């Protein structure tokens, strides 16, 4: 019974619609009516700018992180046991589902990438750091948050199965499922990238201005 209650708590935690509350509370709009229509950090970056986009991203990451840590409230579990890790996964997945289908925001949320990342931080900090490196490198080179998220998610099972070789079949299946889920939920973004219509986040402006200046000088 305690497991079910904690999973429900994790879902409610993941359901906190940070971007919706920020857009309504500070700007008088619903973020889902603008940009891509998603209630996530990427759309917040596009519509409200990097300051609020960063705030929303941090909050969404923390939802996944704290959902995983709810497992510490359970009695009768060995933190080193596989069953404890599986319970952490269940709690984290519940938070991700809550983010995608938030009960507090008419079940219309974001894509869950930031909350998934918080889940990974809570369970495998080194894996999260490695995936962050992939994300940041791709973001620096392209300024596409969507492409950065896709490639970081694809790198996730590579790190779990090959590099870190995690000996937990549930976690290994989960890693592969995450990569497939992120690719599936970003199909429209992939199409826009191929067509050249994907929006770039407004960061690294000085770098881009320098590049443009060099190109104009040439």
38-83, pLDDT tens digit by residue? 899 989 988 998 899 999 999 999 999 999 999 999 988 888 889 9
Whether residue 215 lies inside any domain: the answer is no
pLDDT at residue 195 greater than cutoff 60:
yes
Contact 145/42 with Cβ under 8 angstroms? yes
Total domain count for the chain?
1
Neighbours of 84 (CB within 10 A): 15
Whether residue 79 lies inside any domain: the answer is yes
Q: Which domain holds residue 69?
A: 2-206
Whether residue 211 lies inside any domain: the answer is no
Whether residue 104 lies inside any domain: the answer is yes
Distance CA 113, CA 181 (A): 10
Provide the whole-model pTM: 0.85
Whether residue 213 lies inside any domain: the answer is no
Split at pLDDT 50, 70, 90, the class of 137 is very high
């Amino acid at each position: 019974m305690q497991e079910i209650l904690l999973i429900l708590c994790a879902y409610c935690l993941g359901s906190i619609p940070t971007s919706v509350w920020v857009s309504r509370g500070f700007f008088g709009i619903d973020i889902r009516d603008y940009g891509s229509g998603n209630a996530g950090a990427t759309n917040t970056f596009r519509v409200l700018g990097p300051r609020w986009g960063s705030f929303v991203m941090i909050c969404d990451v923390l939802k996944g992180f704290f959902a995983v840590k709810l497992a510490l409230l359970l009695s009768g579990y060995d933190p080193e046991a596989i069953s404890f890790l599986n319970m952490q996964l269940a709690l984290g997945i519940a938070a991700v589902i809550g983010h995608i289908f938030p009960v507090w925001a008419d079940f219309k949320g974001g894509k869950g990438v930031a909350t998934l990342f918080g889940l990974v931080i809570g369970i495998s900090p080194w894996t999260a750091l490695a995936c962050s490196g992939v994300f940041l490198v791709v973001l620096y080179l392209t300024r596409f948050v969507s492409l950065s998220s896709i490639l970081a998610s694809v790198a996730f099972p590579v790190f779990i199965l090959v590099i870190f070789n995690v000996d937990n079949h549930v976690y290994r299946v989960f890693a592969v499922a995450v990569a497939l889920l992120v690719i599936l939920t970003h199909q429209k973004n992939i199409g826009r990238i191929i067509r050249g219509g994907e929006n770039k986040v407004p960061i690294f402006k000085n770098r881009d201005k320098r590049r443009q200046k060099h190109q104009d000088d040439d």
